[in-house]
């Protein structure tokens, strides 16, 4: 079952990557806007003229305090020049409104009317001369931040433009929006481009090669008729009769995304190619079970300790999961919540497999004589499954998804803020250096992940103890088996079922079962036309946990440490099996692959005896081979 779970997990990962690519994993653009019913009033006192901006002493302290007196005066002069260009003699009425979010961000709106103060929450339509947002921005020219004034003026003819969202929807916007930088220190103004972004930041989830960049652009949005009809109130231009609305284009982009996609797909296909050998063995097992034949079973997850190439491919497949989590955090409110838990599952699998890879490296450390051949045992499936279940469960219980999405902009220091209603709110100006970005999710959840891994590791050791009655394994017996004696036995820690009870003992001989051979990364093949020798005895065996063979068709058995003939001896044939690496199974039995790559023959098994082959021995290109579950070898 664990074999199928591993294969399905790789297929699910490949499928998830393809889905996320389609939905904008490495580049996305989505529009958001806040209707006037969500706005909160900040003041209705400012009067505005074309020549001088805000009328002196007309604005309340709460309104002036948003930016400070110097910058606020510059905001008034720029606002008057933008919205009163065709009504220069009018003394307009300015209402200030604001909207704030959970992540401590805020935006100030300014509505300009010619006859009375516009309402922040109108009922039905109300006429205005213009709508403006006041935010902050950080640029190389303004490293400490500046105010960004974005104005949709009814007096300026609209120049149509469009924004294409990731879902394919095309949003109409106006390229005639007026954007101006206002210096926070001296009130100096500078014209910006119509698509000037703010909320510019980076997320370094992996390394600087795959840096995630995010930004936001304010637009005058052309609202659809259905959207307008659904609103309780809205503002329209007095002259143009066009509904005025400001929305934000939220975008992200990942550097070198083509390289990242190529690597991700390569690792998925490489993992599936390496798993094809296990898939063949598993399918043969099911076929044999349906035909009432002996079935070979083994735990592929436990065998990863010996299959370092497959283990490395698995780690590579899940390597970019920290980046996926950060992207889904940014797009959580749009599509990210659908795949949030899956991305956490991938992260947990990556960390668990990485720990197993570290344990395989520990085997190279010399072990003291008293501890030799006595490694600590643990259950690899229990460790991985418990890590995933505990970590995903803990993060779901903490509501990590919506919390991280809401707090996205709190993980980077702002350089300039707005003072709204007596509190400071970030509004788009952040440190612009790419090495000082938003904290990646993996750093935030790492303490939880480490605790879950430690608990899972302890549980995996206890599970082995409860199920098999031991924590330490004696592997000294492997020297009494010709096949196992050629392999390096684990010394410090292992997930392999190398207990002596899992072998067949006849006198002082220890026979290795085919399932144990596969667990150790080897399998057997037969020459379809090879020599066969008659024999009257069949060997049957059974085992447990990660290494077992279930014989459902023969009658012979092992009793009292000796080989006992079946009650009804039958004439059978014995073939000479060739032992190859499990990585070489598919190339060995596939003729066209054999012509491209000749797998190495490790040894042969004849009449339950293993003989090591020379290192130069290869399978024959013209010979036809078939997979066989093999026989015991001593």
Q: Report in angstroms the alpha-carbon separations of 358 from 316, 321, 353, 380.
A: 14, 19, 9, 13
Q: What is the pLDDT of residue 196?
A: 96
Q: What is the pLDDT of residue 530?
A: 55
Backbone phi, psi, residue 92, to 5°: -80, 165
What is the distance of C-alpha 489 from the center of its chain? 35
User: Any idea how long the chain is?
Assistant: 634
CA distance 250 to 257: 19
Residue 593 tokens read as 């692959």
Tokens 């459902």 belong to which residue? 552
CA distance 183 to 178: 16
Three-state secondary-structure class, residue 64: helix
Q: What is the pLDDT of residue 22?
A: 74
Handedness of CA 425, 427, 429, 434 (dihedral sign): positive
373: left (phi over 0), alpha (psi -120 to 50) or beta: left
Return the CA Rg of the chain: 35
The string of pLDDT tens digits covering residues 217-273 is 999 999 888 889 999 999 999 999 999 999 999 999 999 988 988 898 898 889 888
CA distance 257 to 492: 40
Q: Report in angstroms the alpha-carbon separations of 596 from 274, 584, 592, 599, 600.
A: 17, 12, 7, 10, 13
The string of pLDDT tens digits covering residues 584-616 is 999 999 888 988 999 999 999 988 889 899 988
CA distance 24 to 30: 10
The domain ranges of the chain are: 1-25+258-398+440-457, 34-255
Q: What is the pLDDT of residue 149?
A: 97
Q: What is the pLDDT of residue 42?
A: 95
Residues of the chain with pLDDT under 50: 531-572
Q: What is the pLDDT of residue 333?
A: 81
pTM score, two decimals? 0.84
Q: What is the pLDDT of residue 543?
A: 36
């Amino acid at each position: 079952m664990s074999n199928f779970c591993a294969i399905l997990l790789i297929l699910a990962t490949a499928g998830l990557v393809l889905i996320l690519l389609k939905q904008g994993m490495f580049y996305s653009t989505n529009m958001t806007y806040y209707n006037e019913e969500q706005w909160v009033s900040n003041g209705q006192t400012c009067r505005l003229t074309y020549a001088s901006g805000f009328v002196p002493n007309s604005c309340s302290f709460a309104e002036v305090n948003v930016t400070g007196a110097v910058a606020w005066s510059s905001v008034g002069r720029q606002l008057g020049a933008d919205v009163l260009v065709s009504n220069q003699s009018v003394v307009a009425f300015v209402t200030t409104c604001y909207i704030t979010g959970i992540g401590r961000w805020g935006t100030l709106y300014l509505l300009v009317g010619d006859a009375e103060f516009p309402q922040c929450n109108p009922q039905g339509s109300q006429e205005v001369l213009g709508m403006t947002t006041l935010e902050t921005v950080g640029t190389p020219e303004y490293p400490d931040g500046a105010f960004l004034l974005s104005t949709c003026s009814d007096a300026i003819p609209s120049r149509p433009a469009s924004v294409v969202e990731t879902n394919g929807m095309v949003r109409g916007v106006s390229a005639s929006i007026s954007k101006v930088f206002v210096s926070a220190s001296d009130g100096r103004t500078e014209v910006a481009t119509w698509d000037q972004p703010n909320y510019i930041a980076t997320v370094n989830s992996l390394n600087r090669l795959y840096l995630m960049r995010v930004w936001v652009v304010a637009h005058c949005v052309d609202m659809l008729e259905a959207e307008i009809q659904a609103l309780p109130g809205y503002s329209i231009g007095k002259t143009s009769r066009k509904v005025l609305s400001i929305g934000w284009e939220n975008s992200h982009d990942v550097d070198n995304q083509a390289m990242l996609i190529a690597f991700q797909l390569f690792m998925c296909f490489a993992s599936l190619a390496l798993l094809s050998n296990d898939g063949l063995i598993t399918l043969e097992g099911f076929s044999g079970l349906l035909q009432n034949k002996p079935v070979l079973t083994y735990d592929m997850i436990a065998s990863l300790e010996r299959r370092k190439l497959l283990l490395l491919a698995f780690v590579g497949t899940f390597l970019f999961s920290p980046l996926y989590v950060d992207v889904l955090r940014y797009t959580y409110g749009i599509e990210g919540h659908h795949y949030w838990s899956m991305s956490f599952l991938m992260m947990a699998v990556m960390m668990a497999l990485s720990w197993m890879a570290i344990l395989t490296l520990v085997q190279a450390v010399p072990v003291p004589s008293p501890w030799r051949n006595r490694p600590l045992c643990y259950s690899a499936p229990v460790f991985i499954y418990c890590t995933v279940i505990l970590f995903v469960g803990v993060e779901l219980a903490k509501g990590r998804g919506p919390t991280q999405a809401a707090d996205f902009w709190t993980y980077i220091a702002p350089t300039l803020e707005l003072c709204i209603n007596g509190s400071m709110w970030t509004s788009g100006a952040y440190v612009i250096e790419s090495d000082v970005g938003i904290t990646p999710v993996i750093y935030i959840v790492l303490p939880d992940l480490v605790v879950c891994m430690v608990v899972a590791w302890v549980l995996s050791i206890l599970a082995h103890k409860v199920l098999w009655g031991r924590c330490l394994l004696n592997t000294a017996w492997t020297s009494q088996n010709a096949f196992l004696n050629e392999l390096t036995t684990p010394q410090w820690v292992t997930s392999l079922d190398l207990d002596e009870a899992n072998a067949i003992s006849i006198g002082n001989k220890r026979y290795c079962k085919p399932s144990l051979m596969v667990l150790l990364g080897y399998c057997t093949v037969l020459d379809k036309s090879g020599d066969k020798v008659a024999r009257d005895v069949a060997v049957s065996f059974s085992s447990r946990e990660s290494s077992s063979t279930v014989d459902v068709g023969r009658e012979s058995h092992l009793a009292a440490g000796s080989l006992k003939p079946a009650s009804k001896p039958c004439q059978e044939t014995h073939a000479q099996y060739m032992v190859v690496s499990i990585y070489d199974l598919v190339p060995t039995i596939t003729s066209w692959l054999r012509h491209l790559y000749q797998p190495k023959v490790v040894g042969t098994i004849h009449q339950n005896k293993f003989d090591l082959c020379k290192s130069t021995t290869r399978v024959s290109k013209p010979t036809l081979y078939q997979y066989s579950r093999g026989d015991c070898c001593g």
